[in-house]
Amino acid sequence: MLGLVGPTGVGKTALALGLSERLPLEVVSADSRTVYRWMDIGTAKPTLDERRRLPHHLIDVVDPDQSYSLALYQQQALEAIARIQARGRMPLLVGGAGLYVSAVSEGLAIPDVPPDAAYRRSLAERARLEGWQALQRDLAEVDPESAARIDPKNVRRVIRALEVFRATGRPFSDWQKPDPARGVECVLVGLRLDRAELYARIDARIDAWLSSGFIDEVRSLLDRGYAPQLPSMSGIGYREVASYLNGALDLETATQTFKHATHQYARRQMTWFNARASITWLDAEEATPERVLAAVEVAGGVHGGGGAVAGGGNQLA
């Protein structure tokens, strides 16, 4: 199968739509935020019209107060891929969540460790009293690889890594090693931009969101009873706008914090993807469906639905 990966705001959805005019594609989303219902603008979710033009799977899977895990994503993504292929169509993996992409393309062996609510509460309280640095130090002692990779201010993810180590006796990073037997053969094409240009795109998109309903989207979620402390609501953008709505931040500060956090996230995404030598990279400003398919041919073709992309990169052979 084919995958389109890269940082937020780089243009993956638009390119996927272009590819769908040449191939019988259905998208399997690899995004950790678009799984939540009613969180549309701030997750850059494809519009209903775009989803009518190109079917998307693994979008609007759970409500914002329901738990969702990488293990569940992997199971559902593999099931969606099998259904798409059974219909004689091609799955297209699209997203910027590195672990989600790797769960499919590398077959990560994901630990089946259910949440331990009491343990999580104790660590969250410790982080509140002693600061996130205390948990980061604990993680660095037992799992330096995860400590180096996980944003230390993302207390929820640090707690999850500690929870997995406590339950299994193995570092979280050990569980995230590739297992080809679990994965799907996937040719990954990455989109990248000059950092300044990417940040400019991100900032323009955030400004557009804020002027076209994102604040109302967050207000509606809060009115529905979805607390800012929920994992879904702690995502970039939602937490800053929620802080604005509850009076903790003025709009200018919330906006600048939102943009800065998104820049940092984009850097982490690129760090993840740059570590994977198998990705074929294209400049996002010059990437066209034809160039993607040409890159796929150089990489050896893509098999999906019983065929391979061939014949000049514009048909299913």
Average pLDDT over the chain, rounded to whole? 92
Q: Is 114's pLDDT higher than 70? A: yes
pLDDT of residue 75: 95
* β-strands 2-5, 187-192 pairing: parallel
The residue type at 243 = S
| DSSP assigned state of 47 | P
Token readout for 276 is 């994977």
Rg for the chain, CA atoms, rounded:
20
- Tell me the pLDDT tens digit for each residue of 192-230: 999 999 999 999 999 999 999 999 999 999 999 999 999
Taking the domains of the chain in order of start, what are their residue ranges? 2-110+178-316, 117-175
Sheet (strand 307-310) strand order: 303-304, 307-310, 315-316
| DSSP assigned state of 292 | H
Distance, CA of 92 to chain centre: 15
Higher pLDDT, 176 or 262: 262
CATH classification of 117-175, choosing from 3.10.520.10, 1.10.20.140, 3.40.50.300, 1.10.10.10? 1.10.20.140
Q: Does domain 2-110+178-316 have CATH number 3.40.50.300?
A: yes
- Tell me the pLDDT tens digit for each residue of 149-172: 888 878 988 999 999 999 999 999
CB-neighbour burial class of residue 132 (10 A; exposed 0-12, middle 13-18, buried 19+): middle
pLDDT of residue 303: 53
Q: Is 15's pLDDT higher than 70? A: yes
3-state secondary structure of 108: coil
- Tell me the pLDDT tens digit for each residue of 285-304: 999 999 999 999 888 776 54
Q: What is the largest CA-CA distance in the chain?
A: 62
CB 38 within 8 A of CB 224: yes
CB 110 within 8 A of CB 179: no
Dist. CA 36–CA 59, nearest whole Å: 7
Q: Is 306's pLDDT higher than 60? A: no
